[in-house]
Structure 1
Amino acid sequence: MSLEPSDATVSFPRTPLPPAEVHKAAADQVLLAGAARLGEDRFEVAALWPGDHPLYHADPRGFGDPTLVAESARQTALHLGHRFHGVERSGERLMILNRITVDVTPPGLPHASEEALSVTMDVTSSRTDSRPSRDGDLPRTAMVLDAEFRIDGVRHARASVHWTALPARRYAVLRRRNGSTGEVGSPPPGLPPARPLAPEEVGRRHARDVLLATADGLPENRWLLTMDRTHPVYFDHESDHIQGMVLLEALLQAARTVRLRSPETASHRDVYVSAPRFTVDYAHFGELDQPVTVTAERGTAPEEGLVLTAVQGGRELVRCALADDETPEAAPR
């Protein structure tokens, strides 16, 4: 990622954007406060990270949740795409995540106390269109965003988002090819009796925030994805597939679980992975009516660290390579 710090001083209100601007339904899920264009593909974006968010809270050492970086970058990509890059808001295009990378500077992120934490992002965001189709359909639009996160002038993280805006007709064809056979919201068939993990095992505070469950016959490094579709954060708005941030959260919960269980890291309070470096690649849509297994394994390459995957029906939905500089990587061998 190549970014130069912004020399411009832009004043933003300390109020979140309307939820629709970032594809959210609830106002308390909006992290952005505004955006200003500094050049053709250069932007300054303001975010507000709340200290009392229902999901993203400080770890035992007081560092902020790194998922805030990924979610802020995702919301920024959507907002800039609509406001500055001409991506339609009318439903003529559907947004698909392809890749998210996050790199948090050790030892970790600051966390808001009583007032929301003001975050400034120096952003480059570009749009590339494919050739128009012969049938007059909208072109396929590829978007790339790189962001540098600063708090009180100090850089604390970097992130990038690669995503695609597909014409609605092409999206419908892609969804049919994915092979969904059940009603959205129907119970997954053929699951063994599952026992959700305890919140403290996955680094969360409440039972409803847990996305992983164990079951008889599953190895220690594999879990079933369990979803409460009334959850106010994971399912803030309706979707015809498992949303990308839900899958990312499940993988990060698996990473915390592995670290907590490992004798190499059990003595550390930092089971939350405060300063991670990870890359998440999305390969297939996850269907809401079919079981998903999440697996954590040691990567084969030194830079991979811990490799986390979510698989459904023999297809890998998403893969995350996570490294952490603070302590040795811990994974079942």
Structure 2
Amino acid sequence: MPQEFAHRRAMEDVLITSWSRLDDDHFSLTAQWPHDHTYFTPSHGRHHPLLAGETIRQAGLLLSHAELGVPLGHHFILADLVYTTDPERLTVGTGPTELTIDVRCSNTRMRAGAMTSGHFDMTIHMDGQIIATGNSSVTVTAPAVYRRIRGERLSARHADRPLPAPVEPRLTSSAHPDEVLLAPTDQPGRWLLRLATGHASVVNPANDHIPGMALLDAAQQAARVITSPNSFIPYAFGTEFRRYAEHDIPCVIEARLVPSAIPHTTTVQVTGLQNAEPVFVSTLTALDARE
């Protein structure tokens, strides 16, 4: 899979390895989850909690470009990204984990042979067993339309300015301070987003806004901090994106515990705000530690 189809700059960040069309709206893909990736680092012997979300994102982009007529250079607006994993089946081995992905497209709108919006439902298998399910909805805009939408923001870029001090890396399960996306504030459950240099796999300098995967990572880090010292490894992750996250406006990350619908689980809701308006809202659920 060409890295431009995944909107990634390095081949090592591309997870999808092949694809085929089964019928008009049904596709089969293969993928690999790395066991030694410098960014998607395993946690507690299990694959990184964002890998399922990144796989769904890349699969949708690939099919949009390769099968649904979307030209490279068009812009994707992600409305939501929702997935649930089987934590007992996410154990990391000594090599890459081989996967197959069943994808069904729905609510697909086409114009001049190219998709303008659609919904993707995915089931991820390993060794014939379901290890994750998820879905996402996207809207696609041509460059001219995107320029009108973004206006002066189109030229905005991530600036390499001094970063505020991070929270302790152990609280976010980060291997290095450069991987921490949260800076402490004087209010509990609130942090400032810090885009650290250690996130080259999800932060593209050419982006005119903060990418969604960086926001998801900030959400799972915030959930880990607010539940510390307990271990919080989300198996269910749902995010709604409300608006673009801008580079030049402070982004406040708020996390709070919310009632969990499933016994023996903990649920955290994380909201990103700019100018007091929600940019994204994530709900993360993890299994409680066994006695």
Whether TM exceeds 0.5 here: the answer is: yes
> Is the 8 Å Cα contact of residues 66 and 109 (structure 1) preserved in structure 2?
no
Q: Relative to structure 1, is the Cα distance of residues 130 and 76 closer, same or farther in structure 2, using a 3 angstrom cutoff?
A: closer
Q: Relative to structure 1, is the Cα distance of residues 166 and 232 closer, same or farther in structure 2, using a 3 angstrom cutoff?
A: same
Larger radius of gyration between Structure 1 and Structure 2: 1
CA positional deviation for 1:174: 2.1
Q: Which residue of 2 aligns with 1:79?
A: 62
Q: Which runs of 5+ in 1 are unaligned?
A: 1-16, 133-137, 329-333
Query: Once the two structures are superposed, what CA deviation does each residue of 1:93-137 show, in whole Å capped at 9, x if it has no partner?
Result: 211111000101243512232x211011111124622779xxxxx
**Which runs of structure 2 are paired with 1:165-180 in the superposition (5 Å)?**
165-176=140-151, 180=153
Q: Relative to structure 1, is the Cα distance of residues 271 and 322 closer, same or farther in structure 2, using a 3 angstrom cutoff?
A: closer
Q: Which runs of 5+ in 2 are unaligned?
A: none
Q: Which residue of 2 aligns with 1:185?
A: 158
**Which runs of structure 2 are paired with 1:1-333 in the superposition (5 Å)?**
17-60=1-44, 62-89=45-72, 91=73, 93-107=74-88, 109-113=90-94, 115-126=95-106, 128-129=108-109, 141-176=116-151, 180=153, 183-186=156-159, 194-215=164-185, 217=186, 219-228=187-196, 231-236=199-204, 238-261=206-229, 265=230, 270-273=231-234, 276-299=235-258, 302=261, 305-326=267-288
Distance in 2 of aligned mates of 1:291 and 1:51: 34
Query: Once the two structures are superposed, what CA deviation does each residue of 1:227-255 show, in whole Å capped at 9, x if it has no partner?
Result: 13573212245200000101111001101
Aligned length: 287
> Is the 8 Å Cα contact of residues 180 and 196 (structure 2) preserved in structure 1?
no
Given residue 279 of structure 2, which amino acid in structure 1 is its aligned partner? L
Q: Which residue of 2 aligns with 1:13?
A: none
Runs of 4+ in structure 1 over 4 Å off: 179-183, 300-304
> Is the 8 Å Cα contact of residues 42 and 125 (structure 1) preserved in structure 2?
yes
Q: Which residue of 2 aligns with 1:6?
A: none
Q: Relative to structure 1, is the Cα distance of residues 236 and 230 closer, same or farther in structure 2, using a 3 angstrom cutoff?
A: farther
Give the TM-score normalised by the residue count of structure 2: 0.89
Distance in 2 of aligned mates of 1:124 and 1:140: 14
> How much is the aligned-residue C-alpha RMSD, in angstroms?
2.7
Q: Secondary structure at the match of 1:20?
A: coil
> Is the 8 Å Cα contact of residues 26 and 236 (structure 1) preserved in structure 2?
no
Distance in 2 of aligned mates of 1:36 and 1:183: 37
Distance in 2 of aligned mates of 1:170 and 1:122: 32
Give the structure with the higher percent strand: 2
Give the TM-score normalised by the residue count of structure 1: 0.78
Q: Relative to structure 1, is the Cα distance of residues 211 and 127 closer, same or farther in structure 2, using a 3 angstrom cutoff?
A: same
Q: Which residue of 2 aligns with 1:331?
A: none
CA positional deviation for 1:170: 2.4
Given residue 228 of structure 2, which amino acid in structure 1 is its aligned partner? L
Given residue 110 of structure 1, which amino acid in structure 2 is its aligned partner? T
Q: Relative to structure 1, is the Cα distance of residues 257 and 230 closer, same or farther in structure 2, using a 3 angstrom cutoff?
A: closer
CA positional deviation for 1:297: 1.2
Query: Once the two structures are superposed, what CA deviation does each residue of 1:231-290 show, in whole Å capped at 9, x if it has no partner?
Result: 3212245200000101111001101111224xxx3xxxx4333xx212100011011111
